[in-house]
Every structure is written in C-alpha cells, then in structure tokens.
C-alpha cells in the first residue's frame, strides 16, 4: 500500500524559495524560513480570526494586502512581508489600536510583557497620528472576581479570550457584544465575571496580548505579612510551579528549579517554606481510600446510592465548571479538598500545634500555577480550621515578580530544601502537575494497598495515563488481591483522563448519558493540566507545555520515594493527628461539599 503525498506548493517569501504542503498559511510558511511576521489576534492554540490586520503582507498581482495568518499559500506566489506598503499599513493599524487603548504602560500590570507595547516600540510609534479616543469611551474595569481583573480600556478586541473560552474551555463566559465603535468583549448581561459561568481558570489571561485580562495580584499583602513581626508566614508551592518559574527569570522552558525556588522564598523572608506535594500525597491517601470504599459499597454491599464513576476534585476551575454545567453529577465528585486547601487547613491546626503557634498569627500563602486557586481559597467552605485556611494565593508569575522586586539573582542561588513538617513529598505528589498525574499517583497507591504489590508497570511509570491527548482512557487488571480486598480480584479498573474543559465536557456528556463505563475519572481544567495553568508564565503553547510535562516526569523519576503511602511525613501525620484516611478529623479538615450553581 502506498501513501499519497500531499501536494507541495512552491512560492517565494522576500526572495526566499519555500516549499510547503498545500493548505499551509503564509504565516506558517514564513516561519519555516525564519521570516518573522508580527501578529496580535493569532495564537497557535486557537482558530484563525484574522481581525487585527497586523500580519498583512503584499502578494504580487493582488490589489489588496492579505492577512498572513488566514491566507493559504498558492503555487508560485511571490510574497513581500516588509515592503513600504506593508510597513505603512502595519504601522497605521498599530496606531489605530493605540488610539483606543489606555496606554499608561508604566502603570500596567503587563508592562514589559505586552505584545502591543512590543509592536509599538518595534515600529517606533512616538507620535499620536490619530485622536486619543480613550476619554470618550467610558470604559469599565471589573475587579469583583478574586481571580481576574477585566479592564476594557486596554482591550484591543482581538477576541483571543472569546476563542479561548469557547474553543479550549467550552464555557463561553466571554463574547462579542454590540457593533462598530460600540463593539466590546462582554459577559452575559454585562455582569461581573464573578457572577457568570466563568470558571476563573485564567486561560484567557494566558492568551490576552495586552493588559485587558490579568490576575488579581496579592503581592503587596504578602509583603506586608512578611514585614509584620507578629506574623508567621508559611508558604506552600505547587508541583507545576517548579518547572515553569524559571521561564520568567531567565531560564529555558521546562527547567526544574525546585532548589533555587526554595532558596529564593527563604531570601524573601518566608518563615517556613513547605510543599503542596505533601498534601498531594495526603490527597492520594484520602481519595484512594474513598474510591476503594465506594467500590466496596457498590460491588459488595450493592448500595445503589453510591455514585460511580468517582471524579477527582483537585482542580478548582473544573469544580466550578461542573457546578455550573453538570450539577446532577456533583455526587460523583470526590469529597476531598484540593491539596492547596488540605494544606491550608492543616497549616492552622496540625502545623500550628507542632510549632506551638497561635493560628491567628499564621499567614498561609500558596504559590500556584492557577488563577482559579484564588477563587477556591475564597470559597466559604474553605474555613474548616476556624480561620480562612489559605490567606493569599500567588501565581507563578507573581512569585517571579517578588523575586525581581527583592533584587535576587535567581540564577546564582544555591539549591535549598523544603523545611520539615509538611515539607516532604514523593514523586507521586510531583506528577499532580501534569494531566494524568493524579490518576497515576492514585493507581500506584491503590493497587499496592489492594494487592500488596507494586503496579505492573516498568519503573512505576503508568504510561497509558500520560500524554497530551485531550481525552485518554486506561484500564488496569487487578490480580492477586489481599484477603480483605478479595472482591476486587479479576476486576478491570477502567479510568479516563481529560484536560481542558472542552474535553471535560465530552467525558461528562458520556457519563450523564449513561454510556461511560469508568470507575475513576481525572479532570484538569487547563490544557496539559496544572503545568498549563492560568497563572503560569506567558507565553504558552503546545511546545512549552510539553517541555514542562517532560520536566515533571524527570522530577518524579529523580525522587527517592515515588509512592504517596510511603511518605514518612504522611505516615506521621496519620499516627499523630489524623488517625486514619476518611476518619473523623480527616472528614472535618480535608473533605468538603459542592454547590449547584444553576440554582438561584
């Protein structure tokens, strides 16, 4: 059998001969020969829009300029990307965008990482050719969400956010409203993003080319806590932070900076630098036990009230998504809090007791790859310690800003280690940062608890649950069970893994229709899992996310302990404080309930 090769198109770009497959755009062809064409509305994760007109090019024989991002190549095209006509049009388009853009760049959160600012500098836009229309527009700023600030005065209407919310997340909290000069990016009935179906995932922030969508930052509040001698500041750091932080501090994509990150946090004046991976391991103990308990009740006790498949609950964007769109499936969610919130509850109870501290004086700070974690920390359910369990959530980007503010030379920092008491973790905790990681960590522990043997995968690497496919399925045959788990002998555990809410929706529709034959489902709201979270360094694309993914698994393989149930500090906390998984204290501190957000 012979495979038919795609037709090849031959053309010239700025005098350079190029040969590409039919269907390739001019922009893609130009990249192949290292010719840079500027863009604003284009993003590799999204469909083509072609509405900013910054990528205009001149095609010989064509009366008008063409958008390189949207125009497919044709045989014998002769394209000019830097002619006088192109440069003049490009410059005028940038100037038109600036005429409706609040250009107080030095006060903007995106100053220094703004695509429009970079283009204005590159094209030396020093004079105002067009009237400044900003004062006439009566722009609004939505700052009610604890996660996201939406500033219409900085929006250039490229619609990246709209496409992100619809194509990647299937949420459609943002859409285009009105026409002509009144056109804007808005929400349902122009309500605050806090009051609509927005999941606070922050994917729109990651793709916004300007400062129209940014995270709500809590940098000054954390500095105030550090400077307050009456406060004891405890920091937890999520697994995906350590493989992305370096990107904002001069390192290559996917560099593992765990030791330097810990060293930097201590230099900032943090009293105790601990690890969210510890409570990731704890989550596996609670969630794994919960899954096995549900299976026993369903298979042995024939309890028809048990909801299967059980679904993970550590992604707050996913939780808000299911609360809005599939509230009938809320009983399927694990009752476990996320590792962030488990940590917060324990920081002001167990940790406070161990350190002989008044929990009133503990300031619990988490460093997360996720903007939805800010919303999660503000949920009224997250106060089981008697206080707000997590006081402030900073994104990876915010931590990078603090390190720069402190004048720390990150590259020259020595490697340091997390402090003790909730600072020890395993490789299973680390892989929570990647899609499939929670599932893999759970299977590593649950299989061994049931059989007394390690999972039947080389080097503990459960490769079927790994990868960047939107939806993955994997099955594990349980054999050689211990006597107390004999009812699981010969059972094939069916699992599904989805990342990105558009893929979560596909899986949920299967479950809701009764067509899904799964026992356990892992959902992560963001593309690639937490490593592609809305609080990670900008830019993001599939290549960057893959490098972070690879770093996560390198970190796992380098850990001395790679199974959650073997974490000595987890063993200790059960012995001293929690007693047992799903016990009374665990129920009070580590588990929660959810809200049907379709009810008003």
Beta bridge partners of 237: 275, 367
Measured CA distances, 270 to 359, 405, 434, 441 (Å): 16, 15, 27, 30
Are 37 and 68 in contact, with CB atoms under 8 Å apart? yes
- Which residue among the candidates 28, 95, 167, 381 is catalytic per the annotation? 381
Residue 484 is a catalytic residue: no
339 exposure class (CB count in 10 Å sphere: 0-12, 13-18, 19+)? buried
518/308 Cα distance (integer angstroms):
8
Q: Is 287 an active-site residue?
A: yes
Distance CA(49)–CA(25), nearest Å, equals 13
- Site of tokens 């600030």: 149
Do 186 and 177 touch, CB atoms closer than 8 A?
A: yes
Catalytic member of 110, 373, 374, 547: 373
**Cα–Cα distance for residue pair 145/375, rounded to 1 Å:** 8
- Which residue in the list 158, 314, 370, 526 is annotated as catalytic? 314
Options 58, 100, 247, 376, the catalytic residue: 376
Any catalytic annotation for residue 373?
yes
Helical H segments across 233-329, by residue range: 258-268, 276-299, 316-325
Which one from 247, 290, 398, 569 is the annotated catalytic residue?
290
How far from the centroid of its chain's Cα atoms is residue 103's Cα?
29
Q: Which of 565, 569, 558 is nearest to 243 (CA)?
A: 558
Q: How far is CA 531 from CA 212, 248, 389, 504, 537, in A?
A: 23, 14, 24, 17, 10
Exposure string for 171-196, b = 16+ CB within 10 A, e = fewer: bebbeeeeeeeeeebbbeeeeebbeb
**Cis, peptide link before residue 309, omega less than 30° from 0:** yes
Question: Is 381 an active-site residue?
Answer: yes
**Active-site pick, 100, 286, 287, 323:** 287
Q: Is 269 left (phi over 0), alpha (psi -120 to 50) or beta?
A: left
Residues 165/171, Cβ–Cβ less than 8 Å? yes
Distance CA 260, CA 473 (A): 36
Beta strands in 505-565 (DSSP E): 520-524
Q: Is 514 helix (H, G, I), strand (E, B) or coil?
A: coil
Q: In angstroms, rounded to a whole number, what is the distance separating the alpha carbons of residues 471 and 502?
A: 10
Strand partners, 496: 473, 521
- Active site residues per annotation: 287, 290, 314, 334, 373, 376, 381, 530
């Amino acid at each position: 059998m012979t495979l038919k090769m795609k037709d090849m198109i031959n053309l010239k770009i700025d005098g350079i001969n190029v040969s590409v497959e039919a269907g390739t755009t001019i922009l893609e062809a130009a990249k192949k020969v290292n010719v840079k064409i500027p863009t604003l509305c284009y993003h590799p994760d999204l469909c083509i829009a072609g509405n900013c007109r910054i990528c205009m090019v001149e095609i010989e024989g064509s009366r008008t300029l063409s958008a390189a991002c949207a125009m497919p190549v044709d045989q014998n095209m002769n394209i000019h990307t830097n002619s006088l006509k192109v440069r003049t049009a490009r410059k005028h388009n940038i100037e038109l965008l600036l005429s409706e853009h609040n250009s107080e760049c030095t006060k903007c959160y995106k100053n220094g990482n703004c695509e429009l600012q970079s283009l204005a500098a590159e094209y030396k836009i020093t004079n105002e050719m067009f009237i400044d229309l900003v004062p006439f527009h009566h722009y609004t700023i939505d700052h009610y969400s604890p996660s996201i600030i939406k500033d219409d005065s900085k929006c250039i209407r490229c619609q990246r956010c709209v496409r992100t919310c619809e194509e990647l997340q299937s949420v459609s909290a943002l859409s285009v409203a009105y026409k002509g000069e009144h056109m804007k990016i808005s929400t349902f009935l122009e309500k605050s993003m806090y009051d609509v179906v927005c999941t606070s995932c922050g994917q729109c922030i990651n793709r916004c080319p300007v400062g129209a969508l940014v995270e709500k930052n809590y940098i000054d509040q954390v500095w105030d806590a550090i400077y307050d001698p009456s406060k004891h500041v405890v920091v937890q750091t999520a697994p995906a932070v350590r493989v992305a932080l370096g990107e904002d501090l001069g390192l290559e994509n996917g560099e593992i900076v765990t030791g330097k990150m810990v060293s930097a946090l201590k230099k900032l004046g943090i009293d105790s630098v601990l690890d969210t991976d510890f409570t990731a391991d704890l989550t596996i103990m609670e969630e794994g036990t919960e899954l096995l308990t549900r299976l026993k009740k369903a298979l042995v006790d024939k309890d028809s009230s048990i909801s299967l498949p059980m679904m993970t609950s550590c992604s707050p964007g996913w939780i808000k998504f299911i609360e809005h769109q599939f509230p009938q499936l809320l009983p399927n969610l694990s009752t476990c809090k996320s590792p962030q919130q488990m940590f917060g509850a324990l920081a002001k109870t167990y940790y406070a007791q161990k350190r002989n501290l008044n929990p009133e004086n503990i300031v619990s700070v988490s460093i997360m790859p996720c903007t939805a974690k800010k919303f999660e920390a503000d949920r009224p359910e997250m106060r089981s310690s008697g206080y707000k369990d997590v006081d402030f959530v900073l994104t990876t980007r915010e931590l990078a800003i603090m390190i720069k503010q402190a004048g720390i030379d990150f590259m020259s920092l020595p490697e340091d280690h997390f402090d003790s008491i909730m600072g020890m973790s395993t490789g299973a905790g680390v892989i929570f940062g990647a899609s499939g990681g929670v599932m893999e960590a759970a299977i590593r522990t649950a299989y061994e608890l049931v059989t007394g043997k390690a999972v039947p995968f080389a080097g503990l690497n459960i490769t079927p649950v790994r990868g960047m496919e939107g939806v993955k399925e994997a099955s594990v045959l349980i054999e050689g069970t211990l006597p107390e788990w004999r009812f699981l002998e010969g059972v094939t555990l069916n699992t599904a893994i989805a990342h990105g809410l558009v893929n979560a929706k596909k899986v949920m529709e299967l479950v809701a229709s009764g067509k899904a034959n799964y026992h356990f489902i892992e959902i992560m709201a963001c593309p690639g899992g937490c490593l592609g979270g809305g609080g990670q360094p900008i830019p993001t694309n599939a290549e960057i996310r893959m490098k972070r993914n690879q770093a996560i698994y390198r970190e796992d393989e380098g850990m001395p302990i790679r199974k959650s149930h073997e974490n000595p500090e987890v063993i200790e906390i059960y012995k001293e404080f929690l007693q047992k998984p799903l016990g009374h204290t665990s129920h009070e501190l580590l588990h929660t309930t959810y809200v049907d957000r379709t009810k008003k």
